[in-house]
């Protein structure tokens, strides 16, 4: 049975995925490297350094550590500027109701985010206190698709991975959930997120009933 649901943050609980894209796009433009929304699917769920190196590689560039650090700082400053307006209104529809249902049924709620800004974002969304455990890029060594961040969340929740469901909008995230031995629910396009057990268009389409159904299977 199902004892915990572990959510990704960017693109699952709120619309920040698009701001990560805008900020990476601006950086790629400045470097003269082509970068499309289609390319960005590969970068969803990938951590900051991994994302930068993917873009640099597209342009055939290899930079020093200091140069990489400067570009990451620049991208993050731009990203923080873009999300400066975030309030509880930016929580996707259905999240509050789903969280309430999960709590009422004794199912724990975890976060597994590749972002170093996760704590800030959940604070601004007004949901920080809803999580039984938060795992993010500050607590792990290996980035998605490595399962580390999901396994850390499960450990923090005190629930074995086989009793956890993971919810992700990213290819790398679905792979991480599967490698963690959890059941993967995708948010977005079923053609993109082919490794998921089931894909819903938005988090609003997830109900407690379908969560329980996935746990039986």
Residues in contact with ligand BG6 by the rule CB under 6 A: 9-10, 17, 20, 43-45, 47-48, 51, 76, 113-117, 137, 170
How does DSSP assign 93-150, residue by residue? TTHHHHHHHHHHTT-EEEEE-S-TTHHHHHHHHT-GGG-SEEE-TTS-SSPTTSTHHH
Which residue, 157 or 171, has its beta carbon nearer to ligand BG6?
Answer: 171
Q: Are 164 and 5 in contact (CB under 8 A)?
A: yes
Site residues (vs Mg ion, CB under 5 A):
8, 10-11, 169-170
CB of 58 to ligand BG6, least distance (A): 15
Whether 101 is catalytic is no
Residue 156's binding partner out of Mg ion, ligand BG6, none, with CB under 5 to 8 Å set by partner kind = none
SS (H, E, C) 188-215: CCCCCCCCCCEEECCHHHCCHHHHHHHH
CB of 189 to ligand BG6, least distance (A): 16
Residue 183's binding partner out of ligand BG6, Mg ion, none, with CB under 5 to 8 Å set by partner kind = none
Whether 8 is catalytic is yes
Distances in whole angstroms, Cα of residue 118 to Cα of each of 16, 80, 123, 191: 10, 12, 8, 27
CB of 62 to ligand BG6, least distance (A): 20
Extract the tokens encoding 103.
């709590």
Catalytic residue among 8, 132, 136, 169: 8
Catalytic residue numbers? Answer: 8, 10
């Amino acid at each position: 049975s199902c004892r915990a649901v572990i959510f990704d943050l960017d693109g699952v609980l709120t619309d920040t995925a698009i701001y990560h894209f805008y900020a990476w796009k601006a950086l790629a433009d400045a470097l003269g490297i082509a970068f499309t929304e289609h390319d960005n699917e590969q970068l969803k769920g990938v951590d900051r350094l991994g994302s930068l190196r993917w873009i640099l590689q597209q342009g055939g560039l290899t930079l020093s550590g200091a140069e990489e650090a400067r570009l990451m700082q620049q991208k993050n400053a731009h990203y923080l500027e873009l999300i400066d307006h975030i309030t509880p209104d930016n929580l996707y529809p259905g999240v509050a109701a789903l969280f309430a249902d999960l709590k009422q049924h004794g199912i724990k709620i975890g976060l597994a985010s590749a972002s170093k800004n996760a704590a800030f974002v959940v604070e601004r969304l007004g949901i920080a206190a809803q999580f039984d455990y938060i795992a993010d890029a500050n607590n792990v060594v290996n980035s998605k698709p490595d399962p580390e961040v999901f396994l850390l969340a499960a450990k923090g929740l005190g629930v074995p991975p086989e009793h956890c469901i993971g919810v992700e909008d990213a290819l790398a995230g679905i792979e991480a959930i599967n490698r963690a031995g959890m059941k993967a629910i995708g948010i977005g396009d079923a053609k993109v997120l082919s490794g998921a057990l089931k894909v819903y268009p938005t988090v609003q389409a997830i109900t407690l009933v379908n969560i329980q159904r996935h746990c039986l299977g």
